[in-house]
Structure 1
Amino acid sequence: MSEKTRKRFIAGATCPRCQAMDTLMLYLQNNLEHVECVQCGHHQTQPDEKVSSATRKKESVIGVFKP
């Protein structure tokens, strides 16, 4: 059975790519926040708080290998 995703528009928000206003929709998928522009298709994903807090600001580490 397919779970229906609830999508909400963000009032007053402007798309960073096409600069259109009121075209961004927000939805949750796999516990990640996604924002998508319905006009140009621009897509952004917000990582989980646990991931953001574990990332150091001045480093660009892709991952840590633990044997």
Structure 2
Amino acid sequence: MTTVRKRRFIAGAVCPKCAEMDKTVMFTNDEGEEVRECVSCGYSQTTSEQAVEDQAKEIVTRVTPDGKAILDEGEQPLRILGLNPKK
């Protein structure tokens, strides 16, 4: 007997592979994991695969070790054009 899995479309979701909007469905597989799948191109990803991918991608900012601190070098006074200096 085949198990029928209830699939639900995710409104506004964009497929990371083909970039089609509103073509992504979610369902639970036999192992109990949530799976997202594109009905347009067949792309499929489980929640555990997504978690591993998210951990691998750390956003580089100026406070992360890979980011570079922004330093002001050679400070200079600001001169506004069109104003007469006070005498």
TM-score normalised over the length of structure 1 = 0.66
Corresponding residue for residue 9 of structure 2: 9
Match for 1:45: what amino acid? T
**1:20-59 map, 5 Å:** 20-30=20-30, 31-47=32-48
C-alpha offsets along residues 31-62 of structure 1, whole Å, 9 cap, x if unaligned? 01111000011110112xxxx7xxxx68xxxx
Deviation at 1:2, TM superposition (A): 2.2
Deviation at 1:3, TM superposition (A): 2.0
Identity among equivalent pairs (%): 40
Higher-strand-fraction structure: 1
Unaligned runs of 5+ in 2: 57-87
Unaligned runs of 5+ in 1: 59-67
Runs of 4+ in 1 over 3 A off after TM superposition: none
CA RMSD, 1 decimal? 1.8
Which structure has the larger Rg over C-alpha atoms?
Answer: 2
TM-score normalised over the length of structure 2 = 0.52
